[in-house]
Structure 1
C-alpha cells in the first residue's frame, strides 16, 4: 500500500471530528456556561444570605422569639436551597440518598455554626454575655459540621490534633470574652445610664422651687403652739 492510499484511508477517521467544533456546538456550550455561571452565583450568594439571616436571628432571639424564630427558619431554607444547588444540581457526580441526607443535615448545622460565630462577633457590644457563648460555640459547631459535610475528610478528623486545637481555641475564646463581657456589664455607660442620670436632676429642682412659689412651710410653722412664744424674739431680731 502506497503513502497516498494510507492518507486516503485515514481521512474518514478524522472527518467526523470536524463538525464537533461547529458554530451550533460552540453556541450551545456558551449558553450552558452562562447558565452555570448564574446558578453558581445564586448558590454562592445563598450561602451568605442564609448565614446572615441566621446570625441576626440567633443573637436577637430573646428580644422577640416568635419573629426571630421565623427569620432563622427562612435563613435555614435559603442555606439549604444553596446547598442543594451547589452539591446536587451543579455537580457531575451526584451522591446517593444516604450521602444526600448527611450533606443536608451537616449543611444545616454548618449554617447555624456560622450564624452563631458571625452574629456573636457582630453584636458583641449589644449582647456581651450572649456573644461570649455564641462565638466559641459557633467555632466548634461549624468545624464539626464542615468535617461531616466534606466527603474527602474522614469523620475521625474531628478528634484529631486539628480538632483539639479548635476546641482549645474555642475554650480560650470563651474565657477571654466572658471576662470582657463582665467588665462591660460593670462599667456604667450607654443610653440607659444617661436616662437614669437625668431623673435626679429634675427631682432636685422640684423642691428648690417649691418653697418660693407656694410658701408651704409658713402654715406649718404657725400651726405649732411652741414657736408662738418665740415670736417676740424674732421681732427683736428684725428691729435690729
Structure 2
C-alpha cells in the first residue's frame, strides 16, 4: 500500500508541478518519503536476507528512481488530455526510467541487461510512444496545453457571465412601462366584460 500511495503522490506532483511549483514539490517529497518507507519495510524488515550496505544503498537509490519513473508514466497517462505536450514527454521517459530502475533494484539481474535485447525493446517502445503521443497532442483540437486543466482559469460559463456583467445598462427611455398602469388596464378590461372578481 505504501508503494502505491507514494507513487500516486509523486505522479500527481510530477504532472501538476508547473501549476504550483512550491506546493507540488512538497507533495513530491512526501511521496518520495512514503515510497522509501515502503522500500525499507519490504527490502530490509520483511526480507529473509538483508542486503549488505553497498547493495542497500543501490536498492534505495533504484527505488527512488523507480518511484519517479512510475510517477511520470502514470501521471502522464492519466492527465494526457489535460497536458498533452507534457504527457507526450513524461510517458516515454517514465517507461525508460522505470525499466532502468527496476533492473538496478533486482538483485538477481545485472545492469548489463539494460543494454541487452530487452533494453532495446524498451527503448523502441519509448520512442514509438513519444512520436505517437506527440502526433496525438498536435492533432488535438484544443490548443490549451496546460491551461485546460481544472486547476486554473475560468470556465466558459464564468466567462459568459463576466461578459454579461460588463454590458452597459439599457437607456432610461427603453425602460418598461410601470406595472401599476398595466394592472389598471387589465382590471378595466375585466370590468367591461362583466367578469370582475
Consecutive unaligned residues of structure 1, counting only runs of 5 or more, are 1-44, 215-240
Alpha-carbon shift at residue 177 of structure 1 (Å): 1.0
Larger Rg: 1
Q: What stretches of structure 1 move > 4 A for 4+ residues in a row?
A: 185-188, 190-193, 199-203, 209-214
Aligned to 1:159: 115
Question: By how many angstroms is 1:194 displaced?
Answer: 2.8
Change (3 A) 1:80 1:210: same
Residue 126 of structure 1 deviates from its aligned partner by: 1.4
TM-score (norm 1): 0.62
C-alpha separation between the residues in 2 aligned to 1:201 and 1:64? 28
The 2-side partners of 1:161 and 1:130 are apart by 29
Aligned length: 168
Please, what is the CA RMSD of the aligned residues? 2.7
Cα deviation for residue 125 of structure 1 reads: 1.5
Counting only pairs closer than 5 Å after superposition, residues 26-105 of structure 1 correspond to structure 2 as: 45-105=1-61
Residue number among 160, 163, 180 corresponding to 1:198 in the alignment = 160
The structure whose RCO (Cα within 8 Å, separation 6+) is larger is: 2
Using the alignment, how far apart are the partners of 2:9 and 2:140 within structure 1?
Answer: 27
> Are residues 193 and 53 of structure 1, via their aligned partners in 2, closer, same or farther at CA, if it must alter by over 3 Å?
closer
Pair 1:135-2:97 in alignment: no
> Which runs of 5 or more residues in structure 2 are unaligned?
176-197
Q: Helix, strand or coil for the counterpart of 2:30?
A: helix
Please name the residue that 1:173 is paired with.
129
Structure 2 counterparts to residues 206-217 of structure 1, below 5 A: 213=174
Output the CA distance in 1 between the equivalents of 2:107 and 2:120.
21
Decide which structure has greater helix share.
1
Distance 1:83 1:101 in 2: 11
